[in-house]
Amino acid sequence: MTQKKKKNKLIFDGYPRTINQAKNLDNLLNKSNQKLDYIFFFNVNKDEIIKRVEGRKILEKRSDDDTKTILKRYDIYMKETKPVLDFYSSKKGFYEIDGSLNIEQITNKIDDILKV
């Protein structure tokens, strides 16, 4: 964040995940005179998440992709990460995208937003 040639050219994927991380990120951005231009939330309902992860288990044979683990991860998400969405949702540049769409549709939605 402090390297001049990377200023305002960063992408955070899956971060921040907690309110404390979000507040710390905001502080760091303010100190380095930067801001978040776009915040994308890919909204996928719980049933679709379970279906996708169970499908991934079959394809990738991941032992940690069982229903019990999926539900535990979802509960942690709702407790720790969902408040981050509430923190950012009122800020300029926040976009919610239906994450159950296919990849091409999601890409088109992102492209449309970035053209603004």
Question: What is the arithmetic mean of pLDDT over 64-70?
Answer: 81
Q: How far apart are CA 98 and CA 101, in angstroms?
A: 6
Question: What is the arithmetic mean of pLDDT over 97-103?
Answer: 95
Q: Is the pLDDT of residue 116 over 70?
A: no
Span 18-48, pLDDT tens digits? 999 999 999 999 998 899 999 999 999 999 9
Q: What pTM was estimated for this model as a whole?
A: 0.80
Residue 28 corresponds to which tokens in the numbers above? 């760091």
Quickly count: other Cβ atoms within 10 Å of residue 70's Cβ: 19
In the DSSP assignment, the letter for residue 40 is E
Q: Is the pLDDT of residue 114 over 80?
A: yes
- Percent of the chain with pLDDT strictly greater than 70: 99
Helix, strand, or coil (residue 49)? helix
Domains of the chain (ranges, CATH numbers): 37-108 (3.40.50.300)
Q: Which residue has the tokens 């940690």?
A: 64
- Helix (H) / strand (E) element for 94: namely strand 94-98
The pLDDT of residue 51 is 86
Residue 66 corresponds to which tokens in the numbers above? 């069982």
